[in-house]
Amino acid sequence: MTATLFIQSLLAGITNGFVYGLIGLGISVIYRGTRVVNAMQGDFSLVAGIVLYLCSEHLGYPILPSFLAGVLAGAVVGWTVEIFFVRPTRRRGGNEESFLLVTLGGAFAASAAALLFFGRDSRPIRGLGGDNLLDVFDATIRVHAVWLIALSIAVVVALRLFYTRATIGKAIMAASIDPDGATIIGINVPMMRTLTFVLGGAVGGIAGVLISPLITVNYEMGLLLTLKGFTAAIIGTLGNPFGAVAGGLMLGIVEALAIVFVSSGYKDVISMTFLILIMIAVPNGIFARRGRAGG
Amino acid sequence: MAAAGVLALAVIPLLASREVVDLLVFTALYSIAGIGVTFLLGQCGIISLAENVFYGIGAYATAYVTTALGWHWLVALVIGMAIGGAVATILAWPVLRLSGHFLALATLALATIGHVLFLEWDWITGGTLGIGGVAQISFFGCVLNTPQRFYYLAWIVVGIVFWLYSNLLDSRAGCAMRAMRDRPDAAMVLGIDIHQLKVKVFVLSAMVGSLAGSLFASYVTFVSVDSFGIERAVSFLLIAVVGGAQTIIGTIFGAAFVTLAPNLLSRLGDVHPLLFALALVLTVIFLPQGIGGFLQQQIRRLFELSRLGGDA
Amino acid sequence: MNTFEATRRSVLTGTMSTLAAGCFAAPVLAQQSDPISIGAVLSLTGPGAALGQAERSGIRLAEKLLNEAGGVNGRIIRVLVEDDGSKPDIAKSKAEALIFNEKIALMIGASLTASTGAISALTNSEKMPQIALTGLGPAIELTYKSLFHLLPPQALNAKAMLEYTKAQNFKKIGVLHDSGYGQLVYNNLKTMGSDYGVSFVAVEKFEVGAQDVSTQAAKVRAADPEAVYVIATSSVPFRAARQVRITQPIISAIGSSAYDYVRGMGEYADDIVFPEFLVGEDPESHQKAFVDIYKAAYNSLPKNYEAAGWDAVHIAVNALKKAGPTERTAIAQAMREPYRGVMASYNFAAEDLTGIELSSYVYSKLVKTQFTRLTFKAGTKS
Amino acid sequence: MSENVLMRVDGISKSFFGLSVLRCVTLDIAQGTITGLIGPNGAGKSTLFNIVSGFLTPDAGDVIYKGKSIARTSVTARSRLGIMRTFQTPQIFDHMTVRENLVVGCHKLSRSGFLSNVLGLRSSRRELAKMNMIAAGALNRFDLKGMADVRAGDLTTGQQRLLELARGTLATPDLLCLDEPSSGLNADESRQLRLMLEHLNREGTTIFLVSHDMDLMEVASTVNVLCFGEIIAQGNFSSVKVNPLVREAYLGA
């Protein structure tokens, strides 16, 4: 095995890690604020990706406004989902599985709508720094991938500040940890939950505009991303944004190394087995501060 | 009530078109596989996304044993259930020590692993090509080669499996299970070996799942890896939740939903996956206890009304 | 007795109401014998949508024109297209519906090997002629005498790739394939490679729908091959290959040549060779007419699967003209002869009921995102 | 160790995240007695309790029960050895009826296998009937009569404590560990509780009692005082009460 190959696989692993992490980030944000495991996080990104494509490739807008449009679209979808899907479910006393399935239904819907209205092609999008490659020794990485990594770190930091500093951030936490108490001290709990979904949607949107130039936009990308993001988020302990990215990185790198050192056919077998072993070894979650198994 | 349902089931194939009977056969098959997931979720609070693995094991066992080895379908079916049970035991012992989202993720991981292995071990499974010409089930020379014929077998098996599960539900183990779901700590203190109990229920659901898989293989007479992917596991979970995890009988309605809804909707053109998704969302929103739970409430209400009527 | 009847009916009305749509909604046009129904089970949604939707547009076009030309001896044909959502179980149910409710004379489809397998078991037992838009499936299908395949068996696709490889005298080949279609083709490449003096120095696979395969691609590159086979039903591996600086020529397979994927490759769609059958940009003489008609109808260029759909309907109608719409075995029998289609020249009299020969293959090359037809022809007969 | 010691907690130490909660705690629970454990909040009572019942394993020291070390055996196994406990917040099965709760209490009394349950063999049916009968008996003894089919979650805290206690006693434990059994009870409920404990004790159940409730503590023949992870006093209640260390610990004087 050449050094180039090793570096290349590492670069790929890290890039994918951040991709998974970005999706996991959104799942964590939403779980943290509403205790809902959102199965359509990847589809927030799908929508954002489509909007980005329409703006930058189809209408030929410059990259930055297109990005913002995509993020906005994500936030809007998040808002819609909370208002029309999640809130009614909660009102009618849905349990954890209900939320999972409602959002899963949303995911199916998004993907089906994409196929119907956006078509079956997978559309390439010029990313930040176009399609240019950056050479690392003899290996390569997309310039856009570097941007993706940098920006996702920025997002994590921003979220951390948001939850620790911003009043709304604290209010959201209060609302999710102890709704009744929060209501008593005058926090509008339903609104906080909606805000959480808007935030989660925005994070999904950011993920979408960052990821789709890397992997092209395709009506099937949503659930695939969600599965990986879900894995990342849970490994990193649901509700812990930092953990989600760390979990994603772990998954991405394990996958890459599995391909290099064992066999690409068994990549998933190896990474998933590793996953199970980790969970059994550290039943409280790798980044849990004590607390129940599964965070 | 129940009698009426049974009677209806009994006469449908005499009147309904072959297509409908075919769909009802699939409803039966999915009910059998779904009941395992439903019971795990509703009675033990375990979200299992790995049922596709056992469904696949059953199907491939039947396919391989009847085609490659040319053995009798019944032998194949038993072998399938045995393998399914064994694999489930080995997997469940470590994995069921997990709980909450970890457990859900672990079962999802198992589902992925299973699917990949079904693809990789194409010397058994035929990989993407699949295996054709699986032996059909026959009783004393009567080959179950039409939906009408297979229909009765399938639903009798549903009856048996549901009977077994309802036995389990109101038994010592059943009580222990519900106790475990409510308060694991207290259950342990009362001498219930939680982990062992979970493993047993999981293994049972695995064997039932592979039973369904075997029946599926000998009904369609063709198996391919496409039938045992993640989305199959998801659809089983869907059956459990839509049907109502708390009730056993609800599973049938859940199964009916996932088989009939897409088929009826697909008459409306390319928009049908979208409509199905929305149907799913609406069902979950408006029937949070699932179809089964909803019916149970209605029936209870009816009884109360009638009792009041009696008192008056 | 009467009471029993009554109760039974009441019970039925109760329980069947939900199924009513399923039971009785099925139109019974087949009875009023003017139009002849042809069934088609395609993957219009799900992962196989790229195939199914392409095939449908070919089918619809052929249906329209053939009816304008008088259909089958004056009787018009109706092609009833059903979507199996890329799932074999659903494909089976749809086939049941078409055969027993719609009383179709003949079956077209499915788009995917698995769905075809699920249907063919049924059509075989019903003696229902079936024109599959896939390559030959599991061995059992050779025993099905009413199942025709419009696409070549994967063995032939592999041969076509190797023929070109040999002509370019590439010896060390790297392979990047997905675990579905790619695996099928590679299994054949593996067995035949040595006959063509080709050795596979690196073989990397990835799951269908994978979104990044750059590590696999890097592994292929590290083996330093003379050319790379990329076989997958998506654009991802092609992008990955170029992004990790695999500069060698890429040779792919027919299944990867759909515009859906090529567009997805963006500017990486360059220096890729496909052994296929129809190059819309530069069709062979006997394909020209079809391409023009198609362009006029959809103002986009057709490719193999559109042509396959088109051929399927034509083959069906020919057979129906000869054998009439009722005698299934007769229809199947009528089909068992050579037919020069738009996509390829078939010989359904052949053992595999496909009978496509290497000479039917056309080699196309992507140059700067544009398809061009190569003069190269795989001359030797299979 | 002397014959009549049912359980000996022998030099137990436990610390969480470097913070030591119990330091070499030793105490005996004599056969057939009611042994009390008191101490100010954060003294480590619950931790010790969890170590005794098996929810925690000690860092050092041992728990000897009926002459055998059980410090590493599982909760379930201990339960089968006859150790029963209640919880500070009553852990009743909310979604089950009062009767069902009691039926689960009989779990240890019956032995029917999973398979026979699934197959619904007559043996397992008979067994369930028997369990129901025992449960019915308990309903009377713990005057929960009217509530057989009430959802346990709907009971008052007092009734829930009662139910938890009843459920715990059905399988006639040798050692009954009660964690703050009187918290959340009104005056006559706790009087009732006290009578019940004395009754159970007379019937031969050894009781290990943790409580803030000094009136309830009167039933204890020996009382151990735990303070900041150490036993600072042992003896009968009256002597302990006047112990200066104890006064200091409580009054912080």
Q: How confident is the model at residue A287 (pLDDT cuts 50, 70, 90)?
A: low
Sheet holding D175-179, edge to edge: D83-85, D175-179, D206-210, D34-38, D222-227, D230-235
Q: Are B25 and B154 in contact (CB under 8 A)?
A: yes
Tokens of A265: 């056919």
pLDDT for B269 equals 85
Is A220–C218 a contact, with Cβ atoms under 8 angstroms apart? no
What residues contact residue B92 under an 8 Å CB cut-off, 6+ apart? B198, B199, B202, B203, B206
B194 chain-D contacts, CB cut-off 8 A: 76
| Residue C94 DSSP SS3 | helix
* Cα–Cα distance, C361 to A278 (Å, whole number): 51
Summarize pLDDT for D130-166 with one digit per residue, the tens.
898 888 888 888 777 788 888 998 988 888 888 998 8
| Residue C78 in tokens | 């109706």
State pLDDT tens for residues A179-210: 888 998 889 999 999 999 999 999 999 999 99
The domain tally of chain A equals: 1
CA distance A124 to chain C (A): 5
CA atoms within 13 A on the CB side of A196: 31
CA distance B302 to C11: 18
Which helix (DSSP H) or strand (DSSP E) does residue B225 occupy?
none
Residue D101 is predicted with a pLDDT of 93
Q: Helix H segments across chain A?
A: 3-34, 41-52, 63-80, 87-91, 96-113, 143-164, 167-177, 179-184, 189-215, 221-235, 241-261, 267-281
Stretch 157-186 of chain A: residues touching chain C, C-beta under 8 Å: none
Q: How many domains does chain C have?
A: 2
Q: Looking at the structure, do residues C146 and C294 belong to the same domain, yes or no?
A: yes
- C-alpha D233/C-alpha D243 separation (Å) is 8
What's the rounded Cα separation, in Å, for the pair C218 and A4?
A: 8
CATH number assigned to the domain covering D5-89+174-251: 3.40.50.300
Residues C234 and C369 both lie in one domain: yes
* A294 within some domain: no
CB burial readout D79-90, b (16+ within 10 A) else e: bebbbbbbbeeb
Residues of C in contact with B4 (CB under 8 A): 11, 14-15
The residues, any chain, with a CB within 8 Å of residue C337's CB and separated by 6 or more, are C347, C348, C349
Please check whether residues C223 and C341 belong to one and the same domain: no
Q: What pLDDT sits at residue A284?
A: 66
Give a yes or no: residue C15 inside a domain: no
For residue D88, is pLDDT > 60? yes
Residue ranges for chain C with pLDDT beneath 50: 1-32, 381-382
| Shared domain check, C310 and C245 | no
For C287, half-sphere exposure in the C-beta direction (CA atoms, 13 angstrom radius) is 24
- How many Cα atoms occupy the beta-carbon half-sphere of D177 within 13 Å? 25
**Cβ contacts of D179 within 8 Å, gap of 6 or more:** D46, D49, D85, D86, D87, D88, D210
Phi-psi region of D219 (alpha: psi -120 to 50; beta: other; left: phi over 0): alpha
Q: How far apart are CA C137 and CA B225, in angstroms?
A: 13
Q: Which of D96, D110, D112 sits opposite B178 (nearest CB)?
A: D96
Interface residues of B toward D, Cβ cutoff 8 Å, are 163-165, 167-168, 170-176, 178-179, 181-183, 185-194, 197, 200, 204
ipTM: 0.89
Cβ–Cβ < 8 Å for A207, A45: yes
Res C34: pLDDT: 79
Beta strand D206-210 with D34-38 is parallel
> How far apart are alpha carbons D218 and D238 in whole angstroms?
9
Give the DSSP per-residue string, C30-72.
TTS-SSEEEEEEE--SSTTHHHHHHHHHHHHHHHHHHHHTTTB
> Is chain D adjacent to chain C, meaning 3+ CB pairs within 8 angstroms?
no
Q: Is residue C9, in this structure, part of any structural domain at all?
A: no
Q: Do C266 and C352 have their domain in common?
A: no
**Partner-chain residue, chosen from C207, C218, C261, that has the shortest CB–CB distance to A5:** C218
Q: Give the side-chain half-sphere CA count within 13 A for C85.
A: 22
Supply the pLDDT for residue D251.
64
Is C88 a domain residue?
yes
- Identify whether A212 is part of a domain: yes
Q: Quick check: is A141 in a domain?
A: yes
Determine the Cα–Cα distance for residues C305 and C50; give it in Å rounded to an integer: 9
Q: How far is A50 from chain C (nearest CA, A)?
A: 14
Phi, psi of C47 (to 5 degrees): -60, -30
Q: Which residues of chain B fall short of a pLDDT of 50?
A: 312
Return all residues near C18 (Cβ < 8 A) that are at least 6 apart: B256, B260
Q: Is C261 in Cβ contact with A142 (below 8 Å)?
A: no
Residue C58 shares a structural domain with residue C136: yes
Predicted confidence at residue D171, as pLDDT, reads 84
Helix (H, G, I), strand (E, B) or coil at A214: helix
- DSSP string for residues in B234-250: HHHHHHHHHH-TT-STH
pLDDT band at residue D3 under the 50/70/90 scheme: low
Q: Which structural domain range is residue C123 located in?
A: 36-152+286-359
Residue A8: CB atoms within 10 A of its CB come to 28
Q: Domains plus CATH for chain B?
A: 16-311 (1.10.3470)
Radius of gyration over every alpha carbon of chain C, rounded to an integer in angstroms: 22
Residues C131 and C163 in one domain: no
Instruction: Evaluate whether residue C14 is within a structural domain.
Output: no
Examine residue C103 and state whether it is found in any structural domain, yes or no. yes
- Spatial separation of the C-alpha atoms in residues B256 and A143, rounded to whole Å: 50
pLDDT at C371: 95
Do C116 and C132 touch, CB atoms closer than 8 A?
Answer: yes
Contact A123 C265 (CB under 8 A): no
B312 CA: distance to closest CA in chain C (Å): 30
Joined together, the tokens standing for residue C39 give 């069934």
Q: Is A287 contained in some domain?
A: no
B203 touches chain C (CB under 8 A): no
Chains within contact range of chain D (3+ C-beta pairs < 8 Å): B
Verify that C101 and C218 share a domain, yes or no.
Answer: no
**Tokens found for residue D224:** 């151990």
Which CATH number fits the domain that encloses residue A9? 1.10.3470
**Does A29 map to a domain?**
yes
With residues binned 3-state (H G I as helix, E B as strand, rest as coil), the percentages for chain C, rounded to 5, are: 45, 20, 35
Within this chain, do residues C292 and C146 fall inside the same structural domain, yes or no?
A: yes
**Is residue C317, in this structure, part of any structural domain at all?**
yes
Cα angle B182, B185, B189; round to 5: 115
Residues of chain D with CATH 3.40.50.300: 5-89+174-251
Q: What letter represents residue A165's amino acid?
A: R
Contact B262 C88 (CB under 8 A): no
**Interface contact D118-B164, CB threshold 8 A:** yes
Nearest 5°: the CA angle A184, A187, A190 is 110
Rg (CA), chain A: 19
The 10s digit of each residue's pLDDT in C270-297 is 999 999 999 999 999 999 999 999 999 9
Q: What is the CATH number of the domain that holds C56?
A: 3.40.50.2300
- Residue C346, in any domain of the structure: yes
Residue D180, Cβ density class (10 Å: 0-12 exposed, 13-18 middle, ≥19 buried): buried
User: How far apart are the C-alpha atoms of A274 and A269, rounded to whole Å?
Assistant: 8
* Distance (Å) of CA D41 to CA D38, D85, D210, D249: 9, 20, 12, 10
